[in-house]
Amino acid sequence: MTIHSLRWRLLLVTVLVSVVAVAAVVLMSSRAASTEFRKFIDTSEEIDLSRFQEILSEHYRQNGGWAGAQTALERMGKISGKRLLLLDNERKIIAAFPDHLSKADIDISADNTLRVRSEVEEAEGNKAVSVRQEEMVVVNAPHIEVKNSTGAVVASLFIAGPNLESEMRGDQFTGSVNRSLAVVAIIVVIAAFIATVMLSRRILGPVESLTRAARRMEQGDLSERVEVRSGDEIGELAQAFNRMADSLSRNEQLRRDMVGDVAHELRTPLTNIRCQIESLQDGVVQPRREVIDSIHEEAMLLSRLIDDLQELALAEAGQLRLALEPTSIREIIHKTALAVAPQIESKKITLRIDAPQDLPRAIADSERVGQILRNLLANAVTHTPPEGVIEIRARSSNEEIEVTVSDTGSGIEEEQQDRIFERFYRADRSRARSTGGSGLGLAIVKQLVLAHGGRIRVESESGRGSQFIFTLPVWNRQE
């Protein structure tokens, strides 16, 4: 499983989403637990204050003042675990718990923010006593007013915060909640990972089978099929793949049959043409000799085209028969242009040739290269309107000779350019075979160029003409 595979990305996304979701839940749960714990403390403080108010009011009535208040406050502080300050109406300390707060500096703002600064004496074993400065700030400090029997306020009791033991218990509670949430989060992430692995195997297993089958079909095995294991979307995909494979297999067979049919249908009339021409050559008819020779030459080329159609299926395997030799592309261009001149002149099309005299020779089959040019010129003549221009250019570049056949015709739609070299494909489906051909010309051109070790491409814009560019290898004299 590579890092770019769908299974890896599915696992990565699932784990990432799980981690983010669980982290959010843990954070919210931790905050909720802290908030609820704080509410519990606040409620506890309210209950304690109400009880302290009754105790201190009763103490004041029984003693007629605050004598012994320190003992009573220490008892309340030890029981509740709170730090307590009992202040008179002038904000002076009457009693405090712990004891060191009785000497503290106190500042109370208008919003009841309590600031307490005190010195704490600490002794460790036989070492000297050390003094540590302690400062506390309690925002909106909880407090009550202590009243006498007449309802007059005689003191105020402030809670200056829990003692250290209570703080430790609070920290322990929060830590325990967080640890539990962390364990749950780890379990959830592991469970999500395992579930994703199992689900990916169930979902992506059939997809991988489809991929393997598609690759085998790409290599030419059209008999490949996949097993349909379910009725869900994956099963529907497998059925669609099998239907596509059946269609491709049928189309391939139809294509091969069509090649045979074309060869069979054209062989008989071509044989008749040859017989008539040979009769003319024997003197049965007395036409001009050069015309007869030209017709005979074209008939022989058509006969060779029929043989090529029968072998076209072998072209992709590199089994086309080529007589490779040093060849002058410039001469072939001029010879081919002369052969198609009557067709070009009949449509009043201008033919331009740009092939320099110092153009190097190519290692090629001259007759096949002529066939390539004739097919491209025939295609250009068909699509170029009267008064149009067809141009043949040849250039040498990077150990190759590049030949371009351009026209000012109707052009080719962009979506058709990828299919223009397919066998039996015609861009204009409305044209009859008598005028539009069988769609074999460009397919043969492509196979002949590839058989020479060259490349071919088309550049076109609808309404502005087309350019067919092919390359041939330059002849190396050292070979």
What percentage of residues in the chain have a pLDDT greater than 90? Answer: 17
The C-alpha torsion from 350 through 370 and 443 to 300, rounded to 10°, is 110
β-bridge pairing 389-397 and 350-354? parallel
Please tell me what DSSP assigns to residue 474: B
Give me the pLDDT at residue 353, please: 94
All residues at 6 or more sequence positions from 230 whose CB lies less than 8 Å from its CB, including other chains: 206
Q: What is the pTM of this model?
A: 0.43
Asked if the model's pLDDT at residue 315 lies above 70, the reply is no
* Digit-coded pLDDT (tens) for 332-355: 999 999 988 888 988 899 999 999
Q: Is pLDDT larger for residue 31 or for residue 408?
A: 408
Which of 116, 223, 209 minimizes the C-alpha distance to 159? 116
Report d(CA 22, CA 358) in Å as an integer: 76
pLDDT tier at 430, thresholds 50, 70, 90: very low
Give me the pLDDT at residue 259, please: 67
Q: Count the Cβ atoms, other than its own, within 10 Å of residue 219.
A: 8
Report d(CA 106, CA 100) in Å as an integer: 13
Give me the pLDDT at residue 154, please: 85
Report d(CA 388, CA 125) in Å as an integer: 114
Q: Which of 122-126, 194-198, 368-372, 436-440 has the lowest mean pLDDT?
A: 436-440
Give me the pLDDT at residue 265, please: 54
What percentage of residues in the chain have a pLDDT greater than 70? Answer: 72
Give me the pLDDT at residue 440, please: 66
Q: Is pLDDT larger for residue 390 or for residue 415?
A: 390
Give me the pLDDT at residue 427, please: 62
Q: Is pLDDT larger for residue 240 or for residue 126?
A: 240
Name the region of 465 (left: φ>0; alpha: ψ -120 to 50; beta: rest): left
* Digit-coded pLDDT (tens) for 174-219: 777 777 777 887 888 788 778 777 776 666 667 777 777 778 777 7
* Digit-coded pLDDT (tens) for 26-70: 778 777 777 776 677 667 777 777 888 888 888 888 888 888 888
235 close to 228: Cβ distance less than 8 angstroms: yes
Give me the pLDDT at residue 130, please: 63
Rounded mean pLDDT, 396-422: 88
Cα dist. 454→34, 326, 445, 449 in Å? 77, 15, 11, 5
Q: Which amino acid is at 427?
A: A
End-to-end CA distance of the chain: 48
Give me the pLDDT at residue 355, please: 93
Asked if the model's pLDDT at residue 267 lies above 70, the reply is no
Report d(CA 479, CA 471) in Å as an integer: 19
Give me the pLDDT at residue 310, please: 64
383 close to 409: Cβ distance less than 8 angstroms: yes
In the block, residue with structure tokens 């189309």: 251
388 close to 349: Cβ distance less than 8 angstroms: yes
Give me the pLDDT at residue 289, please: 66
Rounded mean pLDDT, 149-174: 71
407 close to 466: Cβ distance less than 8 angstroms: yes
